[in-house]
Amino acid sequence: MIIGVCGTIAAGKETLTSFFRERGFVYLETSAIIKENLIKQGIEVTRTNMQDWADELRKKDGVEALMKIMLEIAKANPAKHFMFDSLRNHGEADFLRQNSENFILIAVDAPKEIRFQRIISRGKLHDPKTWEDFLVVDNRDLNDEFNPHGQHTQKLIDMADFVIVNDQDLESGKKKVEEIWNKIMVK
């Protein structure tokens, strides 16, 4: 089984991925691949540079380029269950649906105001620091409308098999993830 994870910035994807990792899913992260390539090329690792590099890769090698890399890594691993974090373009999910026996897409979202407060609280170096900067980042993530190879998180959310609206406390978020776990694992 491959579970694809998508969602808006600071929606709580970490809660979801932690839950599945604790139950034996192998965690593969697109950002790790992107960061590694930026470092090899001597490019500063920033959110914008990561997005630009991934957009260029999708443009050059097709929207499925990152997912092909992830599938190759998964095939080299004897595990049966994988979590691919984070899909950013709906073509990535389409590719995985067509090239995986058992693919499930889970989206995590939360209201903008809550996500902005989470960003301020977590204080990551490359996170936006102002509401205006947050909106710029969020809008690019949701729908880079003039770039078919770019970020299209809203389309991914719309096509997800499960959507978690993570707008309450951590325990509530964990309960929502557990409900999905119970539905998926009884199949």
Please give the Cα distance from 138 to 20 (Å, whole number): 26
Q: Which residues, in sequence order, are CB contacts of 132 under 8 Å at separation 6+?
A: none
- The percent of residues in the chain predicted with pLDDT above 70, rounded, is 99
Tens digits of residue pLDDT in 41-85 = 999 999 899 999 999 999 999 999 999 999 999 999 999 999 999
Q: Which structure tokens are listed for 5?
A: 């994870």
Mean pLDDT over 125-138 rounds to 93
Categorise residue 62: left if φ over 0, alpha if ψ from -120 to 50, beta otherwise: left
What pLDDT digit, counting tens, does each position of 145-184 carry? 889 999 999 999 999 999 999 999 889 989 999 999 999 9
Question: DSSP code of 161?
Answer: S
Q: How far is CA 176 from CA 18, 102, 179, in A?
A: 13, 21, 5
| Residue labelled with tokens 């902005």 | 116
Mention every residue, 6+ apart, whose C-beta is less than 8 A from residue 116. Answer: 10, 131, 134
Helix (H, G, I), strand (E, B), or coil: what is residue 55? Answer: helix
- Crossing angle of helices 30-40 and 47-61, in 10° steps, is 100
Domains of the chain: 2-185 (3.40.50.300)
Please write the tens of the pLDDT for every residue from 80-92.
999 999 999 999 9
pLDDT for res 137: 93
pLDDT band of 101, cuts 50, 70, 90: confident
Helix (H) or strand (E) segment spanning residue 168: none
Alpha helix (H) residue ranges in 62-109: 65-75, 90-99
pLDDT at 187 (0 to 100):
58
pLDDT at residue 141, as a whole number:
94
Q: Report pLDDT for 123.
A: 84
> Distance between CA 80 and CA 91 in Å, rounded?
24
pTM confidence score = 0.94
